[in-house]
Amino acid sequence: MTQTDPNRDQIFRAFADPTRRALFERLCRDGAQTVHSLTKGAAISQPAVSKHLAVLKSAGLISGQVQGRETRYSAEPKALVPLTDWLAFYTSFWETKFDGLTDLLKRMDQ
C-alpha cells in the first residue's frame, strides 16, 4: 500500500479528468453503450470520446467488445478494488472501526 502500484496509479490518473469520470459514471448507471451513444450528450467529438475510453480501458476500468461496426463498452466491476483498498487503508488511520481492515492488512502482507 505504501509502494507505488502502477495499476492504482493508472486508475487515479484516469479519474482525474471529469469528462472521463462522467463517461465511466454513465457506463455504470446506464449500462454498456456504444461509442456513438456515448458521444451523444458528451459535448465533445467522437475521437475525443474514443481517446477517453482508451484511457479508461488501459486502466482496466472498462472493457470493450466489437460488435459489427460498433464497439460496446461496459464498466468493469472489480476495477475499483485497488481504489477502495487504498481509500479504506488511509481512512482507517482515523476510523479504526473499519470492518475489512484485518483482511486488508492480510492482503497487504502478501
Interface with DNA by CB under 7 A: which residues? 13, 16-17, 19-20, 34-37, 39, 44-48, 50-55, 64, 67-72
Q: Which of residues 14-33 bind its own copies (CB under 8 A)?
A: 15-16, 18, 21, 24-25, 28-29
Radius of gyration of the chain from Cα atoms?
16
Helix %, strand %, coil % of the chain (to 5):
60, 15, 25
C-alpha count within 13 angstroms, C-beta hemisphere, residue 99: 0
Amino acid of residue 60: G
Per-residue interface string for the shown chain with its own copies, residues 86-105, x marking contact by CB under 8 A: -x--xx-xx-----------
> In terms of CB distance, is 4 or 102 closer to its own copies?
4
